[in-house]
Amino acid sequence: MNTRQAITSILLLGLAAGWTFGASPAPRPVFDCRVPLAPLMAKLRTAGGDVARILYVGKAADLTKLKTGARYKFSLPIDGRFAIGPEPADTSGSVYSHPILSGGRPVLAAGGIRVDRDGRKLTKVTVDQDSQSYCPTADCLQAALESLAAAGVPVEVLRVENRPPECVENHPNTWPPIWPKPAAAAATIPATGVR
C-alpha cells in the first residue's frame, strides 16, 4: 500500500468512526439527578458506608477488582471520573445508589456495568442505562464506552445492553420518591368505559 492509499484508508476509517474534521462536536446529553442527595447520604452513613469505597476507573486493570459476571452500578458525572459502586447492584440493603456515586451532580451516563473476565483478562464489559434516579436514555452509553476505552479497555470487548429504567417520578418535597404504577394497573378501564 502506498502513502496515498494509507492516508485515504485512515480518513475513511476516521469518517466511519465519527471524526468531524474541524466541525464542533455534537453536544452530549446531560441528565440531572431526580432525587435529593441528603437523605441518601444520611442512609449511607447510618449503614456504615463510605464514599471512599467507590471504585474510580483510571485504567482497565481497575475493572479486575469487580466480581466477574456481577452487575454493578456506575455513574459518569460531567465533571468527574467513571465511578462504580463497591458491591454488586443486587446486594441486599446496598446504599451505593447512582446519586451517591456521582455526588448528586449531573451525569453524562449512569446505569449498570458487568465485567466478564478470564483471570485478569477482560473478555466482555457490558454497560446499560438502568438508573431510576437519573433516567438516562440509551444514547448516554456512548459516553460510558468512550470513557472506558480512554481508560484502556479494549474496544472489542465493550458491549451495550439496552435496559431502559423505570424512572422515579420527581415530586417536589416528596421523600421517599413515588414510583410509577405498573402499566397493567394504569391500563384498567372501568365498566363505564370512562377512565
For position 35, what pLDDT does the model report?
A: 93
Q: Which grid cell is 4?
A: 496515498
Q: How far apart are the first and last CA of the chain?
A: 70
List all residues 6 or more positions away from 171 whose beta carbon is below 8 Å from its beta carbon: 177, 178
Check pLDDT > 60 for residue 145.
yes
More confident residue, 10 or 170: 10
Q: Each residue of 78-95: pLDDT tens digit?
A: 987 999 999 999 999 899
**Domain boundaries in the chain?**
28-173
Q: Each residue of 87-126: pLDDT tens digit?
A: 999 999 899 999 999 999 999 999 999 999 998 899 999 9
Q: Which grid cell is 179?
A: 414510583
Taking the alpha carbons of 102, 105, 111, 114 in that order, is the dihedral positive or negative?
negative
User: Span 64-68, mean pLDDT?
Assistant: 95
Beta carbons of 126 and 161 less than 8 angstroms apart: yes
The model's confidence at residue 173, banded by pLDDT at 50, 70 and 90, is very low
Beta carbons of 126 and 153 less than 8 angstroms apart: no
Rounded to whole angstroms, the Cα distance separating 82 from 100 reads 13
